[in-house]
A and B are shown apart, each in its own frame.
Chain A
Amino acid sequence: KQEVTQIPAALSVPEGENLVLNCSFTDSAIYNLQWFRQDPGKGLTSLLLIQSSQREQTSGRLNASLDKSSGRSTLYIAASQPGDSATYLCAEPPGYSSASKIIFGSGTRLSIRP
Protein backbone atom coordinates (compact mmCIF):
# COMPACT_ATOMS: atom_id res chain seq x y z
CA LYS A 1 0.00 0.00 0.00
CA GLN A 2 1.42 3.33 -1.07
CA GLU A 3 2.24 5.87 1.62
CA VAL A 4 3.27 9.42 0.83
CA THR A 5 5.14 11.54 3.37
CA GLN A 6 6.13 15.18 3.33
CA ILE A 7 8.76 16.73 5.53
CA PRO A 8 8.83 19.32 7.00
CA ALA A 9 5.23 19.94 7.99
CA ALA A 10 5.85 23.68 8.05
CA LEU A 11 8.52 25.96 6.65
CA SER A 12 9.10 29.70 6.97
CA VAL A 13 11.71 31.48 4.88
CA PRO A 14 12.45 35.11 3.97
CA GLU A 15 11.40 36.42 0.60
CA GLY A 16 13.84 35.84 -2.22
CA GLU A 17 15.26 32.57 -0.99
CA ASN A 18 15.32 29.41 -3.05
CA LEU A 19 13.75 26.45 -1.26
CA VAL A 20 13.07 22.74 -1.62
CA LEU A 21 10.04 20.80 -0.47
CA ASN A 22 10.39 17.06 -0.02
CA CYS A 23 8.03 14.20 -0.72
CA SER A 24 8.78 10.52 -0.19
CA PHE A 25 6.75 7.47 -1.18
CA THR A 26 7.01 3.83 -0.22
CA ASP A 27 6.06 2.06 -3.45
CA SER A 28 8.54 2.72 -6.24
CA ALA A 29 6.04 1.41 -8.79
CA ILE A 30 4.54 4.87 -8.80
CA TYR A 31 2.65 5.82 -11.93
CA ASN A 32 2.46 9.61 -11.68
CA LEU A 33 3.35 12.11 -9.03
CA GLN A 34 1.59 15.42 -8.80
CA TRP A 35 2.31 18.55 -6.82
CA PHE A 36 -0.58 20.76 -5.70
CA ARG A 37 -0.94 24.04 -3.97
CA GLN A 38 -3.77 24.68 -1.54
CA ASP A 39 -4.75 28.08 -0.23
CA PRO A 40 -6.97 28.22 2.88
CA GLY A 41 -10.58 27.48 2.06
CA LYS A 42 -9.80 26.79 -1.57
CA GLY A 43 -9.53 23.69 -3.69
CA LEU A 44 -6.35 22.19 -4.95
CA THR A 45 -4.44 23.87 -7.74
CA SER A 46 -2.29 21.52 -9.74
CA LEU A 47 1.25 22.79 -10.12
CA LEU A 48 3.18 20.05 -11.85
CA LEU A 49 2.56 16.47 -12.90
CA ILE A 50 5.47 14.12 -13.44
CA GLN A 51 4.69 10.98 -15.33
CA SER A 52 6.56 7.78 -14.58
CA SER A 53 8.70 8.09 -17.72
CA GLN A 54 9.85 11.60 -16.80
CA ARG A 55 12.41 12.75 -14.27
CA GLU A 56 11.37 16.36 -13.88
CA GLN A 57 8.95 19.06 -14.90
CA THR A 58 9.35 22.83 -14.85
CA SER A 59 6.82 25.66 -14.74
CA GLY A 60 8.10 29.17 -14.23
CA ARG A 61 9.92 29.35 -10.92
CA LEU A 62 8.91 25.81 -10.02
CA ASN A 63 10.80 22.63 -10.76
CA ALA A 64 9.69 19.19 -9.64
CA SER A 65 11.85 16.10 -9.85
CA LEU A 66 11.04 12.43 -9.45
CA ASP A 67 13.48 9.71 -8.42
CA LYS A 68 11.57 6.45 -8.33
CA SER A 69 14.55 4.37 -7.20
CA SER A 70 14.96 6.38 -4.01
CA GLY A 71 11.23 6.97 -3.54
CA ARG A 72 11.56 10.72 -3.53
CA SER A 73 10.23 13.80 -5.25
CA THR A 74 11.27 17.38 -4.64
CA LEU A 75 9.63 20.68 -5.48
CA TYR A 76 12.12 23.48 -5.96
CA ILE A 77 10.85 27.06 -5.73
CA ALA A 78 13.23 29.74 -6.96
CA ALA A 79 13.26 33.31 -5.71
CA SER A 80 10.34 32.82 -3.33
CA GLN A 81 7.65 35.50 -3.01
CA PRO A 82 5.01 36.19 -0.33
CA GLY A 83 2.37 35.02 -2.80
CA ASP A 84 3.95 31.56 -2.68
CA SER A 85 2.68 31.15 0.88
CA ALA A 86 0.32 28.17 0.88
CA THR A 87 0.18 24.49 1.72
CA TYR A 88 1.94 22.31 -0.82
CA LEU A 89 0.81 18.73 -1.29
CA CYS A 90 2.33 15.92 -3.27
CA ALA A 91 0.13 13.07 -4.35
CA GLU A 92 0.01 9.95 -6.39
CA PRO A 93 -3.06 10.24 -8.59
CA PRO A 94 -4.80 6.96 -9.31
CA GLY A 95 -4.02 5.34 -12.59
CA TYR A 96 -6.40 6.49 -15.27
CA SER A 97 -7.80 3.00 -15.69
CA SER A 98 -8.77 2.78 -12.05
CA ALA A 99 -10.85 4.90 -9.76
CA SER A 100 -8.87 4.22 -6.63
CA LYS A 101 -8.38 7.08 -4.26
CA ILE A 102 -5.71 9.64 -4.80
CA ILE A 103 -3.05 9.30 -2.11
CA PHE A 104 -1.91 12.58 -0.64
CA GLY A 105 1.05 13.48 1.49
CA SER A 106 0.31 15.40 4.64
CA GLY A 107 1.48 18.65 3.11
CA THR A 108 4.06 21.33 3.87
CA ARG A 109 2.71 24.67 5.03
CA LEU A 110 4.99 27.30 3.51
CA SER A 111 5.22 30.88 4.75
CA ILE A 112 7.30 33.45 2.90
CA ARG A 113 8.24 36.40 5.09
CA PRO A 114 8.38 39.79 3.31
Chain B
Amino acid sequence: DVKVTQSSRYLVKRTGEKVFLECVQDMDHENMFWYRQDPGLGLRLIYFSYDVKMKEKGDIPEGYSVSREKKERFSLILESASTNQTSMYLCASSSPLAPTGRDQPQHFGDGTRLSIL
Protein backbone atom coordinates (compact mmCIF):
# COMPACT_ATOMS: atom_id res chain seq x y z
CA ASP B 1 0.00 0.00 0.00
CA VAL B 2 1.24 3.47 -0.87
CA LYS B 3 2.41 5.46 2.08
CA VAL B 4 2.82 9.22 1.97
CA THR B 5 4.31 10.55 5.18
CA GLN B 6 4.30 14.16 6.25
CA SER B 7 6.87 14.95 8.91
CA SER B 8 4.62 16.88 11.27
CA ARG B 9 0.95 16.59 12.09
CA TYR B 10 0.82 19.96 13.86
CA LEU B 11 3.23 22.86 13.62
CA VAL B 12 3.24 26.32 15.16
CA LYS B 13 5.59 29.00 13.85
CA ARG B 14 5.98 32.75 14.08
CA THR B 15 5.55 35.41 11.41
CA GLY B 16 8.71 35.88 9.40
CA GLU B 17 10.18 32.46 10.14
CA LYS B 18 11.35 30.17 7.36
CA VAL B 19 9.25 27.02 7.55
CA PHE B 20 9.95 23.62 6.02
CA LEU B 21 7.23 21.02 5.49
CA GLU B 22 8.56 17.61 4.53
CA CYS B 23 6.86 14.83 2.61
CA VAL B 24 8.18 11.35 1.82
CA GLN B 25 6.57 8.63 -0.30
CA ASP B 26 7.62 5.02 -0.51
CA MET B 27 6.24 3.94 -3.88
CA ASP B 28 8.83 5.37 -6.26
CA HIS B 29 6.24 7.78 -7.67
CA GLU B 30 7.46 10.35 -10.15
CA ASN B 31 4.80 12.95 -9.36
CA MET B 32 4.49 14.75 -6.06
CA PHE B 33 2.17 17.59 -5.07
CA TRP B 34 1.60 20.12 -2.34
CA TYR B 35 -1.90 21.43 -1.61
CA ARG B 36 -3.39 23.63 1.04
CA GLN B 37 -6.90 23.22 2.32
CA ASP B 38 -8.92 26.09 3.77
CA PRO B 39 -12.54 26.35 4.90
CA GLY B 40 -14.76 27.43 2.05
CA LEU B 41 -11.97 27.07 -0.50
CA GLY B 42 -11.34 23.34 -0.55
CA LEU B 43 -8.06 21.98 -1.86
CA ARG B 44 -5.78 24.26 -3.88
CA LEU B 45 -2.58 23.19 -5.62
CA ILE B 46 0.56 25.11 -4.57
CA TYR B 47 3.36 23.35 -6.45
CA PHE B 48 3.99 20.02 -8.04
CA SER B 49 6.97 18.07 -9.30
CA TYR B 50 7.10 15.41 -11.97
CA ASP B 51 10.73 14.42 -11.51
CA VAL B 52 13.74 15.02 -9.34
CA LYS B 53 14.82 18.66 -9.44
CA MET B 54 11.78 19.53 -11.56
CA LYS B 55 8.99 21.72 -10.27
CA GLU B 56 6.01 23.57 -11.62
CA LYS B 57 3.80 26.20 -10.09
CA GLY B 58 0.27 25.28 -9.21
CA ASP B 59 -2.63 27.64 -8.69
CA ILE B 60 -1.31 29.54 -5.64
CA PRO B 61 2.52 29.45 -5.57
CA GLU B 62 3.05 32.93 -4.15
CA GLY B 63 4.95 32.91 -0.86
CA TYR B 64 6.08 29.31 -1.30
CA SER B 65 8.94 27.41 -2.86
CA VAL B 66 9.69 23.70 -3.14
CA SER B 67 12.64 21.36 -3.29
CA ARG B 68 12.87 17.89 -4.86
CA GLU B 69 16.45 16.67 -4.42
CA LYS B 70 15.48 13.02 -4.16
CA LYS B 71 12.64 11.17 -5.82
CA GLU B 72 10.98 10.15 -2.58
CA ARG B 73 11.08 13.53 -0.86
CA PHE B 74 9.27 16.76 -1.69
CA SER B 75 9.69 19.76 0.58
CA LEU B 76 7.48 22.82 0.80
CA ILE B 77 9.19 25.99 2.01
CA LEU B 78 7.56 29.10 3.37
CA GLU B 79 10.31 31.66 2.85
CA SER B 80 8.91 34.16 5.35
CA ALA B 81 5.80 32.83 7.03
CA SER B 82 2.76 35.06 7.26
CA THR B 83 -0.51 34.63 9.14
CA ASN B 84 -2.45 34.07 5.92
CA GLN B 85 -0.44 30.90 5.44
CA THR B 86 -2.10 29.31 8.44
CA SER B 87 -3.75 26.28 6.87
CA MET B 88 -3.87 22.52 6.49
CA TYR B 89 -1.14 21.39 4.09
CA LEU B 90 -1.54 18.13 2.19
CA CYS B 91 1.13 16.29 0.24
CA ALA B 92 0.28 13.75 -2.47
CA SER B 93 2.06 11.49 -4.91
CA SER B 94 1.14 9.56 -8.01
CA SER B 95 2.69 7.65 -10.87
CA PRO B 96 2.40 9.42 -14.20
CA LEU B 97 0.68 6.88 -16.39
CA ALA B 98 -1.38 3.79 -15.80
CA PRO B 99 -1.69 1.10 -18.45
CA THR B 100 -4.98 2.74 -19.40
CA GLY B 101 -3.11 5.94 -20.22
CA ARG B 102 -4.66 7.81 -17.33
CA ASP B 103 -2.93 9.22 -14.31
CA GLN B 104 -3.19 7.06 -11.27
CA PRO B 105 -5.15 8.63 -8.45
CA GLN B 106 -3.15 10.75 -6.11
CA HIS B 107 -2.31 9.30 -2.73
CA PHE B 108 -2.42 11.80 0.08
CA GLY B 109 -0.58 12.11 3.36
CA ASP B 110 -2.41 12.83 6.59
CA GLY B 111 -1.75 16.54 6.42
CA THR B 112 0.13 19.12 8.46
CA ARG B 113 -1.90 21.70 10.33
CA LEU B 114 0.28 24.79 10.32
CA SER B 115 -0.44 27.80 12.48
CA ILE B 116 1.46 31.04 11.97
CA LEU B 117 1.29 33.38 14.96
Q: Are A42 and B48 in contact (CB under 8 A)?
A: yes
Say whether B31 faces chain A, with CB atoms less than 8 Å apart: yes
Q: Are B45 and A99 in contact (CB under 8 A)?
A: no
| B31 cross-chain contacts in A, Cβ below 8 A | 41, 43
Q: Are B102 and A96 in contact (CB under 8 A)?
A: no
Interface residue from B35, B42, B97, B102 paired with A49 (Cβ < 8 Å)? B42
Q: Are B58 and A43 in contact (CB under 8 A)?
A: yes
Say whether A44 faces chain B, with CB atoms less than 8 Å apart: yes
In chain B, positions 33-63 with a C-beta closer than 8 Å to chain A are 33, 35, 37-45, 48, 50, 56, 58-59
| A42 cross-chain contacts in B, Cβ below 8 A | 48, 56
- Chain B interface size range: 20 to 34
Bound: A22/B1 CA distance, A: 29
| A87 cross-chain contacts in B, Cβ below 8 A | 102-103
| B9 cross-chain contacts in A, Cβ below 8 A | 99
With an 8 Å Cβ cutoff, the count of chain A residues facing the other chain is 24
| B59 cross-chain contacts in A, Cβ below 8 A | 45-46
Q: A96-B37, A99-B9, A99-B113 are in contact. Are A43 and B42 (CB under 8 A)?
A: no
Q: Are A96 and B39 in contact (CB under 8 A)?
A: yes
Q: Are A38 and B44 in contact (CB under 8 A)?
A: no
Q: Which of B12-20, B75-83, B104-112 binds A?
A: B104-112
Q: A41-B50, A46-B59 are in contact. Are A93 and B42 (CB under 8 A)?
A: yes
Given A42-B48, A99-B9: 10 more A-B contacts, CB < 8 Å? A32-B42, A41-B96, A41-B103, A44-B45, A46-B59, A94-B111, A99-B113, A101-B108, A102-B90, A107-B102
Binding site for B on A (CB under 8 A): 32, 34, 36, 38, 40-46, 49, 51, 87, 93-94, 96, 99, 101-102, 104, 106-107, 109
Binding site for A on B (CB under 8 A): 9, 31, 33, 35, 37-45, 48, 50, 56, 58-59, 88, 90, 92, 96-97, 102-103, 105-106, 108, 110-111, 113
